[in-house]
Amino acid sequence: MIENNICPIGNTLDFFNRKWIFCILSNIFRGMNHFSEFKKANPTISNHILAETLKYMEENDLIKKTVIEDGPRVQTEYSMTEKGRKTNKILYEITNYYFNELNYVEYDENQREDILAEYRKAFDIE
């Protein structure tokens, strides 16, 4: 439950209070839309936590879940809602901050620029 805090930053952080939300949003921006793809991209998340996070994101209108029936086969796909798409600049700035201020994993300048270019394209940042 989000507390009624005067600080809009605190309220926003309360809304995004689950560790994996931004990673999953980033995955969807980059073309992933299946549970197994999210799991592969984020191998340390448990299936239970991933399922709970996807449910939370759907309940809060960040993503939309679509069940596709193809004969006996049933697939679930997740896509971005308009509200979810509006996180693009936040995600890009977090990525940019990581490379410019934190950079726990050593990337050379070319790798950093390639990744940032990929994210700019995925997040539709000019």
126 and 71 within one domain: no
Q: Where are the alpha helices (DSSP H) in the chain?
A: 8-15, 21-29, 35-41, 47-59, 82-85, 88-97, 109-122
Which of 5-19, 46-60, 103-117 has the largest mean confidence?
46-60
86 or 126, higher pLDDT: 86
92 shares a domain with 70 = no
Among 47, 65, 80, the domain boundary falls at: 80
By residue range, what is the domain housing residue 72? 1-80
- Whether residue 36 sits in one domain with residue 65: yes
Which pTM value belongs to this model? 0.84
Quick check: 2 pLDDT over 70?
no
The reply to whether 64 and 98 lie within a common domain is no
Q: How many domains does the chain have?
A: 2
Please state, in angstroms and rounded to a whole number, the distance separating the CA atoms of residues 48 and 113. 35
